[in-house]
Amino acid sequence: MAAIREGENDGMGVSLKDLSKKLEDFAKARDWEKYHTPRNLLLAMVGEVGELSEIFQWKGEVEKGLESWEESEKEHLGEELSDVLLYLIRLADICGIDLGHAALNKILKNAIKYPPISL
Ligand SMILES: Nc1ccn([C@H]2C[C@H](O)[C@@H](COP(=O)(O)OP(=O)(O)OP(=O)(O)O)O2)c(=O)n1
Interface ipTM: 0.95
Length of the chain: 119
pTM: 0.92
Parse the chain into domains and list their residue ranges.
17-55+72-113
- Give me the CATH code for the 17-55+72-113 domain, please: 1.10.287.1080
Ligand 1 atom closest to the Cα of residue 32 is: 1
Report how far ligand 1's centroid is from the alpha carbon of 32 (Å): 12
Rounded Cα gap, residues 101 and 114, in angstroms: 20
Q: What is the pLDDT of residue 81?
A: 98
Ligand 1 atom closest to the Cα of residue 35 is: 1
Rounded Cα gap, residues 84 and 98, in angstroms: 17
Rounded Cα gap, residues 91 and 38, in angstroms: 6
Ligand 1, pocket residues at CB < 6 Å: 26, 32, 35, 51, 83, 86
pLDDT at 1 exceeding the cut of 50: no
pLDDT at 116 exceeding the cut of 70: yes
Distances (CA, A) of 60 to 48, 54, 55, 57, 63: 20, 12, 11, 7, 10
Q: What is the pLDDT of residue 67?
A: 96
Rounded Cα gap, residues 69 and 79, in angstroms: 15
What percent of the chain has a predicted confidence (pLDDT) above 90? 87
pLDDT at 2 exceeding the cut of 70: no
